[in-house]
Amino acid sequence: MKRNLLLISNSTNAGEEYLGWCQDLIKDFCLRHNVKDVLFIPYAGVSMGYDVYEQKVKKVFKTLGLNLYSIHKEKDPEEAVKNAKCIAVGGGNTFHLAYELYQNKIMKAIANRAKKGMPYMGWSAGSNIAGPTIKTTNDMPIIEPKSFNCMNLVPFQINPHYTDFFDPKHGGETRDDRLGEFIKIEPNVWVAGIREATALSLEKGNLKLIGRNNKMKVFRGDREAKEYTLKDDINFLMQ
């Protein structure tokens, strides 16, 4: 397996700078793969706009010795993907991200590059689209993409920002309730709930949970949900 992936749950921890907690993960990932230039995909950034989003990420990446440039300023998005040395996909609204990737005809192009070994990193929505579909996103469907199908860089679904927090004053569904609905419909599909301050790393065919938090929660329709730690072997998710 040639894929080199860094799939981050969240960009910001409370009280910390943007991309603060995961800067070392990004820097080390790029160093290992000799990456200096990163093509950024800002399409999930609905609220702030692409220009502001690019500058926000570019400022952080510059401190890491990385040159970041955004696809929304490229004349030919497909050609930009073809020539990219590394791609980073930012968080925001997953439905809008998928919509724009299809509109610009680069969903498949990015997937093809990443499956051949081009380093790919994403956070939040950018991690969610690395799975087979966006069906386990937390976002509101503000726009209808061509398809819910995504890159299938990993064969399991991802739920970023996973939390099992239960507020007794709130009468709505918990995250587990919502993921339980998915695995009821898709009982043979694994779902990895990755908590804040964690990421999934796939390099040299080895899938690992990394980061500050010690646990992730895995769901599947034919068994009880189970917690896995940074020390556990989670490569069964790739089967």
Residues classed as catalytic: 124, 139, 161
What are the helix (H) ranges across the chain? Answer: 23-32, 50-63, 77-83, 94-103, 107-115, 125-128, 175-185
| Dihedral sign for Cα atoms in the order 162, 71, 114, 144 | positive
Do residues 38 and 86 touch, judged by C-beta distance below 8 A? Answer: yes
Burial of 148 (0-12, 13-18, 19+ CB in 10 A): middle
Quick one: tokens of 46? 């609905």
